[in-house]
Structure 1
């Protein structure tokens, strides 16, 4: 069993009077910010993260504009196959998508198989059984199958209509299907999923990175006994406040940089039309994250105070890490009523509510109410953490539990 050694009288050291040190929290905050900004590992990590975001955005933009060309082999003696392949190519051009079809006429079936084997053709269209077969070395591309299938249906329908003494238009009368968007500004499902994932990632990166920063800072000062010197000049609650403010500024600034790079990438991408909605959602995310991180920073600071050595930090910070990971995985996969519930649950609403704002599934008052709930949670977390921080920081000799920290005389 680990023995916990306290400074004196089984209680934390008495705090110095606030007189003359009321602004100490600001000095602590400045020191935390400068130390982090001057840290080469942090700067390099930040630059690498920005580069990764930019490269990912460029990759997705390239993917959305890239055109894939497929060659359809048909026997030149089969007029229906030639007509179907030609019609499929025209359908692809009319859709204006990322798929183009080219026609390759070969002498016979053997030549078509040879073209597939040699890579000169991607698919081979030929009659088989009671219908048509689209063959490939592997499973044909789904878009190609859809285009060719539609073209074959049209050609066969035209042939059958002519044989019956009618026209395809008469046979298909009343079967036309059109699409309509009741809300033209509504976000597409793919865009919503990508945006929700991006918000979840921003939360995860900011919370874990800056949270562990404050925890490491606390335990390093405690392990080196430097905190005992600091405590003679700075009230512990101001020391905690300074560390929370400093780490919060770093976390918010980091997320603002990530968001700016992301919005710049969206502005030059095919989904640039979604930029206004994304901007509004990101503004709400920054506000929610700033409030929510105050609570997380306080909890991570306590995690550092509960540890006596750096090796203990992984154990004492596990609850916060699990909370952050839970929010990360739940929020970008949630939908419907579950997402609505999460948008009012601290700390999950940091991501869930901005995601709902992006989808247009909120009234004007919902983000305000959710933010007030988050703020109330942050105040409670700060009050409890401040007590635990002061009760644990000056105790040494081993890991300290939350229960011990809260019961210690402050």
Structure 2
């Protein structure tokens, strides 16, 4: 039958698209991504309010707090500072204990006196940084005035600007998060769709349905249809999840680097499309090596360990390790797009890495095709790779 692989691929796509477990999992993943982005956007955009106590008569502390409140408002630091005036130190401590105040600022005595920002627990880091900066400026201004000069004169020429010579505007923390997300997408796509193709193969083998199918469809085309169908589903799933992520990121502070993130996502889709063909072929062999559903845990374990290893290593890799992994399939599916986002990959490096991945995929498919045809018709127990590879071609129907 000509183009039988198209019928098989179409059936795989339809069956998977109508599978309730797959649809529920997909919806859960979309909701999780949307919820995470929404929570991040909320946390970044909210304004934290702090009530800071100051004892009546502590003029320097009151002045510093009023200045800090003005600075926070004018610089849009997402901090709102309210000054709470109390009668004594004991009243300030009581306000901290009953949580009517978040912190208490007291000024130092004389030249050597230190300022103290107290809290019933550890004061908030952002609040502490704001108050410390304001107090430092206030003390310096007072001493500059006493010396007959100004703060600007004392600090002239002391500004330090940061510069990144590679010109890449992406923050390292964002690169790390992107690496985690891409590794997660690879893991979910590979394991989810791979397990489905292995399950489909063993279901047909265990029910002896494959013996009927093999009389009309060559096993080579049967395998090709399953690989293509599963690849289409896996790719569509990742495109959907990536699209949701990019659209959500456009509503956050990450919108400025969307062009770089979009380019990285395109590279990931290309690498995943090529690499998943090998993953799907190997999972199909894992299904053919089993004789019953219970055997899948054994036959798919090596693939699961490989994919899990890629997931764990790639998103945490850095430096030379990441450069090496970006050329080694299947780790390159994640590592090379991350390097593109990080800006340390030359224009030709993704192309070379993709060529290596393509060759590795071709080798995996050819190897899997031989093992698949050799194991699919063998029953009575689990089939080893050696037995599958050495099976007599005459015993494989529709080769």
Residue 55 (structure 1) aligned with residue 18 (structure 2): no
Of 145-154 and 177-186, the range deviating more from structure 2: 177-186
Aligned counterparts of 1:68 and 1:159: Cα–Cα separation in 2 = 30
Paired position in structure 1 for 2:377 = 394
Offset at 1:161? 3.2
SS at match of 1:364: coil
* 1:379 maps to which of 362, 371, 375: 362
SS at match of 1:397: coil
Residue 73 (structure 1) aligned with residue 53 (structure 2): yes
Residues 197-246 of structure 1: per-residue CA shift (max 9 Å, x gap): 21111111111100000000011111111111112221111111111011
Paired position in structure 1 for 2:397 = none
Tell me, yes or no, if the aligned pair for 2:58 and 2:107 is still in contact at 8 Å. no
Tell me, yes or no, if the aligned pair for 2:172 and 2:342 is still in contact at 8 Å. no
* 2:160 maps to which of 150, 166, 177: 177
- The TM-score, its normalising length taken from structure 1, stands at 0.91
Aligned counterparts of 1:389 and 1:369: Cα–Cα separation in 2 = 30
Paired position in structure 2 for 1:28 = 8
SS at match of 2:336: helix
Paired position in structure 1 for 2:22 = 42
Paired position in structure 2 for 1:87 = 67
Offset at 1:361? 1.6
Paired position in structure 2 for 1:12 = none
* 1:138 maps to which of 121, 132, 153: 121
Residue 404 (structure 1) aligned with residue 378 (structure 2): no
Residue 64 (structure 1) aligned with residue 44 (structure 2): yes
Residue 325 (structure 1) aligned with residue 325 (structure 2): no
Paired position in structure 1 for 2:332 = 349
Which gives a bigger RCO, structure 1 or 2 (Cα 8 Å, sep 6+)?
A: 1
Paired position in structure 1 for 2:82 = 102
Aligned counterparts of 1:324 and 1:393: Cα–Cα separation in 2 = 24
Of 324-333 and 284-293, the range deviating more from structure 2: 324-333
Residues 35-83 of structure 1: per-residue CA shift (max 9 Å, x gap): 1111122122212221221121111111111111112111121111112
Aligned counterparts of 1:184 and 1:343: Cα–Cα separation in 2 = 21
Aligned counterparts of 1:193 and 1:101: Cα–Cα separation in 2 = 33
Aligned counterparts of 1:161 and 1:252: Cα–Cα separation in 2 = 65
Aligned counterparts of 1:214 and 1:63: Cα–Cα separation in 2 = 41
Of 169-178 and 329-338, the range deviating more from structure 2: 169-178
* 2:342 maps to which of 359, 363, 368: 359
> How many residues are aligned here?
390
Paired position in structure 2 for 1:195 = 178
Paired position in structure 2 for 1:227 = 210
* Pairing of 1:196-275 with structure 2 (within 5 A): 196-275=179-258
Tell me, yes or no, if the aligned pair for 2:169 and 2:257 is still in contact at 8 Å. no
Tell me, yes or no, if the aligned pair for 2:202 and 2:291 is still in contact at 8 Å. yes
Offset at 1:185? 4.8
Return 5+ residue gaps in structure 2 as ranges. Answer: 394-399
Offset at 1:153? 1.5
